């Protein structure tokens, strides 16, 4: 789908039309050929909005497009929508309005068709400017799994704020009951829900089946290498042997799978073999994160992390392989190597956030941007969201990612769209605490 064309279609050149749909998050569900697609229409305070299908960005809508999508998703006929638009935008050409309504209706029908619905949002393809203050919130929250009494209030807050997608970060040896209850509650609220973890922690008992019954939308599995020795050294002894059965179980339960691949010295050289093995297993969604050592870090402390100089070549090769194999991929913010823990432990912890459209929310309510120093911008349970969103930590983040990041050394790379991967200040520093 050509998203740039969609933007031209749905953002007409009209000067500041009135906001006709109240700002907030609206949830809908459509059925097509036995498959259900969940739509979220998020309306910003200025009347513009985004239409998302299963949390994947589909189109950035003008206030007029928002009104059309809102009315169509609420079951109104195109004729009724036409009357409403004409009443709100007097003097607008009837033929143009009818054509736009048809395009919005066709978009909704296309997105409701069955397909691979794992949310993949890279900024060059989503065309969404998450960094403008007019947007009221990120698109996703990453929340470490916690007891229900901690996770339930956080999920309710996500809906109130307008964040449609949550991914639960599983610790080692997680409480399966807590995870299932968290997913159930997210689904009851209308949120898209996913989990991230190791095969070792996902395989025990009937967890995958229970998650499917709870309504889980996607499962992210940490997969370091097709080489079992390398994988187990980084992810945990015996984990690789569980991968194949885990994939089959997830697929049998009709849950979308994404393979999360850490990029370090030991995994980089065998990357093509790793992706080939995943494709053979029917896995076509990938999420990459690099663990990078600062220039002044010793080899002993780096412990096999990539160097700053490695980053352009690494990113170029990853994106080249992804293009050659026609797979879908997401870049997570690079992680700064933390010498206080082993490289394997840092890989198992994973990224602070699963992408730049995400925000991390700790079980105590603390909100942290996806990049830069680990700094709490406020508490989602006790602080007004706009106060958090305008906190200095998010302001610095927006300033960095809105600055030009293209250079002659690595033109056209997706990873450079948000920040230069060689710039330490743009890495995620620390996970559970500041470095």
Supply the DSSP string of 203-266, one letter for each residue.
SSTTHHHHHHHHT--EEEEE---SSHHHHHHHH-TT-HHHHHHHHHHHHHTT-EEEEEEEESHH
Q: CA 85 to CA 34: how far, in whole Å?
A: 33
Taking every pair of Cα atoms in the chain, the longest distance, rounded to a whole number of angstroms, is 70
- Supply the CATH number for residue 102's domain: 1.10.10
pLDDT at 344: 97
**This model's pTM is above 0.85:** no
Q: Are residues 333 and 395 in the same domain?
A: yes
Reported as a single tens digit per residue, the pLDDT across 358-414 is: 899 999 999 999 988 899 999 999 999 989 988 988 877 766 555 555 566 666 677
Using the 3D structure, point to which of 58, 77, 112 is the last residue of a domain: 112
Burial category of 7 from C-beta neighbours within 10 Å (exposed 0-12, middle 13-18, buried 19 and up): middle
Q: Say whether 355 sits in a helix, a strand or coil.
A: coil
Q: Are residues 213 and 65 in the same domain?
A: no
What lies within 8 Å, CB to CB, of 292 at 6+ separation is 305, 306, 307, 308, 310, 311, 334, 335, 336, 337, 421, 424, 427
Contact 231, 224 (CB under 8 A): yes
Contact 119, 54 (CB under 8 A): yes
Predicted confidence (pLDDT) at residue 342 exceeds the cutoff of 60: yes
Q: Are residues 188 and 83 in the same domain?
A: no
* 434 found inside a domain: no
Q: Are residues 107 and 134 in the same domain?
A: no
Q: CA 101 to CA 279: how far, in whole Å?
A: 39
Higher pLDDT, 75 or 132: 75
Q: Are residues 137 and 248 in the same domain?
A: yes
Q: Are residues 144 and 60 in the same domain?
A: no
Q: Are residues 77 and 212 in the same domain?
A: no
Structural domain boundaries, residue 253: 130-426
Q: Are residues 98 and 149 in the same domain?
A: no
* 16 found inside a domain: no
Q: Are residues 233 and 362 in the same domain?
A: yes
Reported as a single tens digit per residue, the pLDDT across 228-246 is: 999 999 999 999 999 999 9
Q: Are residues 392 and 244 in the same domain?
A: yes
- Classify strands 306-307 and 35-43 as parallel, antiparallel or unpaired: unpaired
Q: Are residues 177 and 324 in the same domain?
A: yes
> For the chain, what is the domain count?
2
The H or E element spanning position 200 is helix 199-202
Q: Are residues 159 and 64 in the same domain?
A: no
Predicted confidence (pLDDT) at residue 201 exceeds the cutoff of 90: yes
């Amino acid at each position: 789908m050509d998203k740039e064309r969609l933007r031209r279609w749905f953002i007409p050149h009209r000067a500041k039309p009135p906001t006709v749909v109240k700002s907030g998050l609206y949830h809908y569900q459509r059925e097509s050929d036995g498959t259900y697609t969940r739509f979220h229409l998020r309306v910003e305070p200025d009347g513009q909005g985004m239409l998302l299908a299963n949390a994947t960005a589909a189109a950035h809508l003008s206030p007029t497009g928002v009104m059309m999508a809102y009315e169509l998703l609420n079951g109104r006929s195109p004729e009724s929508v036409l009357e409403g638009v004409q009443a709100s935008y007097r003097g607008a050409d009837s033929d143009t309005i009818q054509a736009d309504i048809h395009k919005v209706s066709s978009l909704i029908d296309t997105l409701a068709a069955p397909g691979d619905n794992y949310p993949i949002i890279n900024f060059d393809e989503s065309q969404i400017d998450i960094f403008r203050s007019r947007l009221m919130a990120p698109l996703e929250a990453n929340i470490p799994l916690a007891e229900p009494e901690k996770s339930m209030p956080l999920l309710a807050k996500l809906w109130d704020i307008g964040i449609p997608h949550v991914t639960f970060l599983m610790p080692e040896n997680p409480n399966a009951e807590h995870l299932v209850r968290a997913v159930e509650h997210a689904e009851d609220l209308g949120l898209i829900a996913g989990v991230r973890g190791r095969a070792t922690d996902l395989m025990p008992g009937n967890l995958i089946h229970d998650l499917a019954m709870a309504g889980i939308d996607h499962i992210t599995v940490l997969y370091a290498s097709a080489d079992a020795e390398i994988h187990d050294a980084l992810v945990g002894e015996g984990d690789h042997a569980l991968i194949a059965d885990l994939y089959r179980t997830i697929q049998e339960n009709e849950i979308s799978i994404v393979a999360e691949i850490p990029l370090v010295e030991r995994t980089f050289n065998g990357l093509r073999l790793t992706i080939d093995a995943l494709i053979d297993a029917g896995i076509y969604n990938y999420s990459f994160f690099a663990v990078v050592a600062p220039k002044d870090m010793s080899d002993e402390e780096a412990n096999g992390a990539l160097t700053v100089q490695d980053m352009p070549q690494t990113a170029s090769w990853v994106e080249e392989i992804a293009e050659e194999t026609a797979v879908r991929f997401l870049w997570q913010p690079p992680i700064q190597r933390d010498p206080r823990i082993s490289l394997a432990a840092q890989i198992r912890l994973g990224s602070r956030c699963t992408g730049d459209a995400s925000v991390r929310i700790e079980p105590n309510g603390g909100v942290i941007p996806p990049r830069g120093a680990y700094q709490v911008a406020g508490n989602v349970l006790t602080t007004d969201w706009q106060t958090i969103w305008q906190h200095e930590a998010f302001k610095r983040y927006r300033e960095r990612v809105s600055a030009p990041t293209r250079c002659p050394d690595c033109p056209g790379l997706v990873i450079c769209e948000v920040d230069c991967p060689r710039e330490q200040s743009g890495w995620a520093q620390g996970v559970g605490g500041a470095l």
